[in-house]
Amino acid sequence: MRRRRPLADVTVIGAGPAGLAAAVAAAESGAGRVLLIDQTFRAGGQIWRHRDEGALPRKARSLLGRARTAGVWFVGSSTVIDALSPNDLVVDFRGRADHLETAAVIVATGARERFLPFPGWTLPGVTGVGGLQALLKGGLDVRGQRVVLAGTGPLLFAVAAAVADAGARLLLVAEQAPRDRIMRFASHALRNAGRLAQALRHRVAFARTPYRVGTWISRAEGGDRVRTVTVSNGRDRRVLECDWLGAAAGMIPVTDVAALLGCAIDSGAVRVDSQQATSVPAVWAAGECTGVAGDAAACVEGEIAGRSAAGDVTGAASLTLQHARDEGRRFGALLAATFAPRDELRALSDPDTVICRCEDVRLGALQPGWTQRQAKLWTRLGMGACQGAVCGPACTALFGWDGNAVRSPLGTPTCAAWMDGLRPHE
Amino acid sequence: MPSPDVIVVGAGLVGALCAVELAAAGARVTLIEAAFAGGGSTGAAMGHLVVMDDTTAQRDLCAWSRGRWNELLASLPDDAEHDRCGTLWLAANDTELGVASRRAHEYRLAGVAADVIDSRQLELLEPALAHGLAGALLVPGDGVCYPPAIARALVCRATEAGVVLLSGMAVRSVGSSQVLLADGTRLTASAIVIAAGVESKTLVPDLPLVPRKGHLVITDRHPGMIRHQLVELGYLRSAHALDGASVAFNVQPRRTGQLLIGSSRELAGFDVSVNHSIIRDMLARAMRFVPRIGATRAWRSWVGFRPATPDALPLIGPWPAMPGVWIATGHEGLGITMAPGTANIIVAGILGRRPAVSPDAFLPHRAFPNRHPVFGIP
Amino acid sequence: MTNIEVWIDGVPRRSPPGVTVAAALLRYGITAFRRDGHGAPRAPLCGMGSCFECRVTIDEIPERRACLVMVRDGMHVDTGA
């Protein structure tokens, strides 16, 4: 049987802001064949997930347009499932797996939400904060439905606006970070005119809903779906009836692909230098997989990585880009300091609260003195379909465990697809 | 703390069972575990309880152990995931079916239930199997289990019986009647049992033991797709060839509905990286025998290391070079199955009793006719 | 755009095109995408493919993440609930 063997000069994994910017920069810097892979069907990532390109921010539209002009080849509904080496990826292209030989790789896998378990968090109707937004973008209809949001950081603000715009009855937006930290953050971050305008736009969109800082979710109740939620500010508890609860404890980098390629991970983020190079030769990383700092920083890092991977080291080292990168890193540090999950969020679970959703492992079955591997082998924690993507970060926050080691394959391909992708080259 | 009569090094299944049985016999026992119960060779195992019959010694130890497991597992917690699913040794052709017939005869002579079934019966028993197989050898008393949970429960039982557990404590060295712990503590005992699986060689460097690497793949849940542990009769060829890498079809139905796909064997030191060509061969072979496995989703792969010996038999008994030191390792892929018999031999030896199974074939200092250079033994 | 037909647990339903399978199910009030070991219903959490709570059988292919797949006319979706 003949096999197609795709060859790329630069392969970008993840088509969010960082990946798009990286692919555009690489292509515009003269890299030959630039591939942009994403697990969803359209470029844009989570933040620019869209059905109508016209509704996207200007930066997003511009990058999408430039990607097309520069000949970036977008491959949607595809995931990296394995790697024989950093230059020989195994990609599941919509159910058919194949090798992808590539001279350079840019990992731009973004971030996902951190979920800290609380009683009732497995009830249908309880989603992440970004999770609810992703479902809305996927076509979820919440018109007239009662929604409570309990989370943290700029994403909470953006999702509140999106939920209100979608016609829901947004009852409460609870920000877990304490007031003094929010004030300090505002005085720094909102000096930036663009950020201030965006924050105001969002607040206007959900103007009729109270925004409570220093307030967090403590439990959800219901039978076949969520009916009531309890929020707390440490002094008072308040019970609200609702149809949807979006709850999360901030964002964390997605590092699985980078780890599979052997890249060093520091404190949960891919380690990069000022050129966005990882510890592995010919592998770069950009955007929130290297630290959560928002889409503007991701675009800058993507551009640096794209130029660097295309051989334009001078361009990647330009003062303008490096200055913007430094600013992005400072903003990331400010985000981390402001919106770090408060201690109360680590103590919400009862012994009966599910920690590992895939394998139904409850808090009472775990002991803080264990290691991650011990918990895994003794209780099946993290052994299910998500392979610890949800409970791993939760247990890091709860017990200080180090999370699951990354094992191939990623993304649960069928055995047939995985085997197919591992066939030797002709 | 009064000095113990016996120190057991390693809280895998073998060490935990030794501790439980020594305590039951009235001995003062200290059990030392570098990490946590079942986290070493026990945690790397597939968890089959299977009677193999390469030699009569192997068969007798397996058979006695499997019987003892049935008693033990009856009183162990549910997360032991014991399932007496039986083993089907698949015959690809009439020659292999002939082998199956001979083996069935020998099993029955030894009191182990076994039947030869033809291709039609096989299709009824396992509809997901590919057509065209000649038949199979069915060993209905075999089963599967989840070893780390069993180790945990047994260690719990041992401590309840008075065994002193030193968990998270590495052993730096072992000498006659004494061990030196990583924290500098020196413990003495009249007997020391080395049950550290593939790590035992770091404590007793002259042991004829090498790590034999294996890969495993676990799938998503497909309850009922497969009902028995399935092994190709060609497995024996793979298990015996020490040189090079080999792959044989072996799949277990787990109680979770997942399929655990094996198996591979290679000598690669303690290299924990996944060998992709081996994974590919394992998947290809699994799909050849059970085509529907192609549509299952692979959740994870990992590697483990079997403690292998030159003659494929375990090392069970005293170690003459270090008086007072007893060896209980080297079971290759049969450590879970053979753990009860191993513990019985060790405990009988230490207490001067008669073991349930003859220990002669397993003496650690026996002569090895088929020495292999990788063992580096004189 | 005209609605398309999606079979959900054997029942034909109309769905707008261009939505994810997860959104289509939720639009019909179906919140049990699967059941946990104790029979409790589970539904989408992350919305972006990492939590695997939304996995359903789509066109006889089990364990697909409903949040990552778009509805198609004539598609068959079966929940594990």
Q: What pLDDT shows up at residue B256?
A: 92
Residues of C in contact with A46 (CB under 8 A): 48
Q: Is the bond leading into A17 cis (omega within 30 degrees of zero)?
A: no
Q: Residue A420, Cβ neighbours under 10 Å: how many?
A: 22
Residues of A in contact with B292 (CB under 8 A): none
* Contact at CB, B280 and A414, closer than 8 angstroms: no
Chain A: nearest CA to C48, how far in angstroms?
Answer: 7
Q: CA A14 to CA A241: how far, in whole Å?
A: 38
CA nearest to A413, candidates A387, A393, A382: A387
Residues A33-58 as b/e (b if ≥16 CB within 10 A, e otherwise) read: bbbbbbbbebbbbbbbbbeeeeebee
Q: Which amino acid is at C33?
A: F
Q: What pLDDT shows up at residue B352?
A: 94
Residue B239: both structure tokens together: 């298990």
Q: Residue A77, Cβ neighbours under 10 Å: how many?
A: 17
Residue A370: both structure tokens together: 């264990």
Q: Is B167 on the interface with A (CB under 8 A)?
A: no
Q: What pLDDT shows up at residue B106?
A: 95
pLDDT band at A403 (very low <50, low <70, confident <90, very high): confident
Q: Residue A207, Cβ neighbours under 10 Å: how many?
A: 10
Q: What is the mean pLDDT of chain A?
A: 95
Q: What are chain C's partners, defined as 3 or more CB pairs within 8 angstroms?
A: A, B
Q: Residue B67, Cβ neighbours under 10 Å: how many?
A: 17
Q: What pLDDT shows up at residue C1?
A: 61
Q: What pLDDT shows up at residue B243?
A: 67
Q: Is C73 on the interface with B (CB under 8 A)?
A: no
CA dihedral A44, A49, A50, A56 (to 10 degrees): -60
Q: CA B252 to CA B258: how far, in whole Å?
A: 8
Q: Is B300 on the interface with C (CB under 8 A)?
A: no
* Contact at CB, B295 and C61, closer than 8 angstroms: yes
pLDDT band at A1 (very low <50, low <70, confident <90, very high): very low
* Residues 9-68 in C contacting B (C-alpha not used; CB under 8 Å): 61-63
Q: Check pLDDT > 80 for residue A2.
A: no
* Contact at CB, A138 and C23, closer than 8 angstroms: yes
Residues of A in contact with C36 (CB under 8 A): 122, 354, 357, 360
Chain A: nearest CA to B273, how far in angstroms?
Answer: 10
* Residues 193-252 in A contacting C (C-alpha not used; CB under 8 Å): 224-225
HEC per residue, chain A: CCCCCCEEEEEEECCCHHHHHHHHHHHHCCCCCEEEECCCCCCCCCCCCCCCHHHCCHHHHHHHHHHHHCCCEEECCEEEEEEEECCEEEEEECCEEEEEEEEEEEECCCEEECCCCCCCCCCCCEECHHHHHHHHHCCCCCCCCEEEEEECCHHHHHHHHHHHHCCCEEEEEEECCCHHHHHHHHHHHCCCHHHHHHHHHHHHHCCCCCEEECCEEEEEEECCCEEEEEEECCCCEEEEECCEEEECCCEEECCHHHHHCCCCEECCEECCCCCCECCCCCEEECHHHHCCCHHHHHHHHHHHHHHHHCCCHHHHCCHHHHHHHHHHHHHHHHHHHHHCCCHHHHHCCCCCCEEECCCCEEHHHCCCCCCHHHHHHHHCCCCCCCCCCCHHHHHHHHHCCCCCCCCCCCCCCEHHHHHHHCCCCC
Residue C23: both structure tokens together: 């959104």
Q: Which amino acid is at B223?
A: P
* Contact at CB, C45 and A357, closer than 8 angstroms: yes
Residue B322: both structure tokens together: 């270090």
Exposure on the CB side of residue A80, measured as CA atoms within 13 A: 31
Pick C52's closest partner by Cβ from A122, A135, A358: A358
Q: CA B209 to CA A228: how far, in whole Å?
A: 61
Where does B57-101 show beta strands of DSSP type E? 87-91
Identify from C20, C28, C46 which residue to disrupt to test chain A contact, counting A C-beta atoms within 10 A and taking the largest count.
Answer: C46
Q: Quick one: how far is CA B165 from the chain centroid? A: 23
**CA angle A412–A417–A418, rounded 5-degree value:** 65
pTM metric for this prediction: 0.94
Residues of B in contact with A423 (CB under 8 A): 280
Residues B2-13 as b/e (b if ≥16 CB within 10 A, e otherwise) read: eebbbbbbbbbb
Q: CA A1 to CA A3: how far, in whole Å?
A: 6
Q: Is B237 on the interface with A (CB under 8 A)?
A: no
* Contact at CB, B276 and A370, closer than 8 angstroms: no
Identify from C31, C48, C54 which residue to disrupt to test chain A contact, counting A C-beta atoms within 10 A and taking the largest count.
Answer: C48
Identify from B300, B301, B302 which residue to disrupt to test chain A contact, counting A C-beta atoms within 10 A and taking the largest count.
Answer: B300
For residues A19-37, average pLDDT: 97
Exposed/middle/buried for residue A298 (C-beta within 10 Å: 0-12, 13-18, 19+):
buried
Exposure on the CB side of residue A148, measured as CA atoms within 13 A: 25
Q: What phi and psi, each to the nearest 5 degrees, are found at residue B168? A: 70, 25
Q: Is B79 on the interface with C (CB under 8 A)?
A: no
For residues A351-359, average pLDDT: 97
For residues A266-271, average pLDDT: 95
Low-confidence ranges of chain B (pLDDT < 70): 1-3, 237-243, 370-378
pLDDT band at C37 (very low <50, low <70, confident <90, very high): confident
CA nearest to B89, candidates B129, B62, B55, B59: B129
